[in-house]
Amino acid sequence: MTLPPGFDSKGATKVCKLQKSLYGLKQASRKWFAKFSSTLISHGFIQSKADYSLFTRSQGSSFIALLVYVDDIVIASNDISAVSAFTVFLHSVFSLKDLGPLKYFLGLEVARSDKGIVVSQRKYALDILEDSGVLGAKPVLFPMDPNIKLSRSDGELLSDPSSYRRLVGRLVYLTITRPDLSFSVQMLSQFMDSPRKPHMDDASRVLRYLKSSPGQGIFFPSASDLKLKAFCDSDWAGCPDTRRSVTGFCVFLGDSLVSWKSKKQHTVSPAEAEYRSMAAVTCEITWLLALLRDLQLPHPDAALVFCDSQVAIHIAANPVYHECTKHIELDCHIVREKIDQGIIRTLHVKSAHQLADLMTKALHRPVFQGLLSKMNVLDLFHSS
């Protein structure tokens, strides 16, 4: 920063001592959050250990949950009068602007009705299509061709890789509400250092798929139980360069899809790959259970984990170390620990009904659309 007028003089070597953090400094966000969180805690809120951006307060039958991202705040409660009194208190300490019922937050569009809530990123998706110049392109009905295997060495290097990196980076943020894009974006993200023409062609296909349903999002039904169930899967050495597998899982709270993931593993063993995918979803369920406790939603029953690998289920249930499982790292055996504690219960599901296939491999249209419909993913703007 520069000294204010009147403080500088020729040959002087003075500095300014800041009494408080100024907006725009790299320390400002940390100072703001510390100030905001201490104010909430002094007002009876409890900071979640599962998510430090979540604060909750329970007073009798009144419950308030507050989620903060920098200076954007979302408040949910079963008591409107308590929320009104709390916003008055916040306004007395900070300068706030009440934007009313939640409709748009960090690029997420929220639509609600008596049947439930739909969260999508339609405007963000249309912005990506417009910036990429594909609004006039012919749409496709599934994002990635199952017959194509992307490799790091095939095709000509792009002369300007920055456009590919920017596009994939924007698509990554779009997967917040688009589980149908998770596998495709995960594949495209592996070639950010040296993208080639086939990689850009596949990214263009993802954009053409996005054009077919830019308003697609997740539906959270209002009439649903609050029981956790999960599907986990892995492919079999699908990467042509490293022969490594991809972990995929999706977690439901009742009929609502609340968490999903698609990520390449560090192993090439088929049995270990399936078991690692089960370990990954077990960690996610453990975190979600802690989050549900903070939201005062008890979950006394064991969460159900569906896997189409009998071998992985056997490894998780059998405490005896076999010759073929000695190489599996100890961190993976969290599955067995959580089963013993009654936190999860593993069940077998036929491969034809494995929803996590959407996260581990490219699928043809009938299978892709069928699995997507079971995840309560829909497009409010699609005319049927």
Kindly give the interhelix angle for 122-132 and 197-212, rounded to the nearest 10 degrees: 130
Give the pLDDT confidence of 222-255 residue by residue, as tens digits.
888 889 999 998 887 667 777 788 889 999 999 9
Predicted local distance difference test score (pLDDT) of residue 258: 94
Residue type, 27: Q
Instruction: Tokens for 98, please give them.
Output: 């009440």
Predicted local distance difference test score (pLDDT) of residue 282: 93
Q: Please report the domains of the chain, with CATH numbers, ordered by start residue.
A: 28-100 (no CATH), 120-212 (no CATH), 224-377 (3.30.420.10)
CB atoms within 10 A of CB 93: 13
From edge to edge, which strands make up the β-sheet containing 108-113?
104-105, 108-113, 116-120, 216-221, 377-379
If you search the block for the tokens 């805690």, which residue do you land on? Answer: 41
CB distance 142 to 365 below 8 Å? yes
Instruction: Tokens for 37, please give them.
Output: 């969180």
- Burial code of 222-241, b = ≥16 C-beta within 10 A, e = fewer? eeeeeebbbbbbbbebbbee
Predicted local distance difference test score (pLDDT) of residue 10: 67
Structure-derived torsion over alpha carbons of residues 266, 272, 274, 279, reported in degrees to the nearest 10: -80
Predicted local distance difference test score (pLDDT) of residue 227: 93
Distance of CA 32 to the CA centre of its chain: 25
Share of the chain residues as helix, strand and coil, in percent rounded to the nearest 5:
40, 20, 40
Predicted local distance difference test score (pLDDT) of residue 77: 92
187: buried, middle or exposed (CB in 10 Å: 19+, 13-18, 0-12)? buried
Compute mean pLDDT per 10 residues along the chain, 384 residues long, and list them: 65 68 72 89 92 92 91 90 90 86 91 92 94 89 88 88 94 94 93 92 94 92 91 80 83 94 76 82 93 91 91 76 54 81 92 90 89 88 64
Q: Where are the alpha helices (DSSP H) in the chain?
A: 28-42, 80-93, 122-132, 161-174, 182-188, 197-212, 270-294, 310-317, 334-340, 365-374
